[in-house]
Structure formats: C-alpha cells, structure tokens
Structure 1
Amino acid sequence: MTGIVVADYRDPSHQKALLDLLDDYARDPMGGGKGLSSRVRETLIPALTDQPGAFSILAFDGDEPVGLVNDHRLKAGGFELRLKAGHFA
C-alpha cells in the first residue's frame, strides 16, 4: 500500500508500523537517543485505543511505513482543543 491512512489500532500491521516509526524517532538524538522500552511497546497501543479523541496517521511508501503523526482532539466546555505532538495547534 502506498499512501496516507488513519491508523487502525486493532490492525497488527498498523500497530507494528506505529511502534517501529516511534521507536526510530526515540532512537534519534531528537527523540532522546533511546529506543522504546518493552513496557511502552506493550502498553502504548491499548492506551491510545482507550484515549477518547486519539488518532494516528501513517504514511507508507509501498509496504514500508515512512511517516507518523499522533494527534488528540479534546472537547471541554464547548471548546475544541487540538493537541499535536505535545503542542497546542
């Protein structure tokens, strides 16, 4: 598959792509220089699934995952707040 898709947290191939891309980022100096711990790899997908408003976008080049965006939409008091990569957008 080539293109951009909303990740299905129940799809094992999307789970693997999300965790692998996030691990690649974590290993980079910008991401802290250390890969994801086994605990994070085991708990992140269930935590995202249980988080109202959480969604992820995956980009693929053929079958290879090449990009990831994690986003959260929150509604409070009639106002919608978008959190993207830890920043208000």
Structure 2
Amino acid sequence: MTLPHQLPGPNADFWDWQLHGACRGENSEVFYHPDGERGRARARRENRAKAICAECPVMELCRDHALAVAEPYGIWGGMSETERTVLLRKRVNA
C-alpha cells in the first residue's frame, strides 16, 4: 500500500484523470456521508454516488487510486470506504 506522503507531488501526468471524472461539478455531499448517517439514508446517498461512478470514464483509475492510498472516506471509483476496507483486508490476508 502506498502511503500519502509517498505519492507523487502535484503533476498533471499523475492527477489529470481527476479532471475527467463524472463527479466533477457534482455536490461532494453525495460522495461523503455526514456524521451519524446510517441505514436507508446512507444507502440512498451511496447508490446515487455509485450511479454517477458507473457512468464515469475514469472510474477504474479513481478506484485504483483510492485503493493504493487506502482512502478512508467517501465513494471513490464506485466503492464505499467499507467496501474498500474489506477488499484491502482480503488482499493482505491472501
């Protein structure tokens, strides 16, 4: 796993994919849960975010980035923080 301080600095070659995300211009609240959000409200918000991700031309790059840095918050590349944590744990235990 790459640690955030080991990531490349600001360089368009590394980060340009973010400019093409379907989430650009969307309200970031769709992708990040407020404190205490649970149950149906959380599921609805996550489903809205994942629907945006499903149409995104850089979804895989986004997901790869979030997994590489163990992004702790939000929907990235169509995956919630819980889904990413589960996947990363499976990789470590494999």
* TM-score range normalised by the length of the shorter chain: under 0.3
Say which structure is richer in helix: 2
Q: Under a length normalisation based on structure 2, what TM-score does the superposition of the two structures give?
A: 0.22
Query: Which of structures 1 and 2 has the larger relative contact order (alpha carbons within 8 angstroms, sep 6+)?
Result: 2
Say which structure is richer in strand: 1
Q: Under a length normalisation based on structure 1, what TM-score does the superposition of the two structures give?
A: 0.23
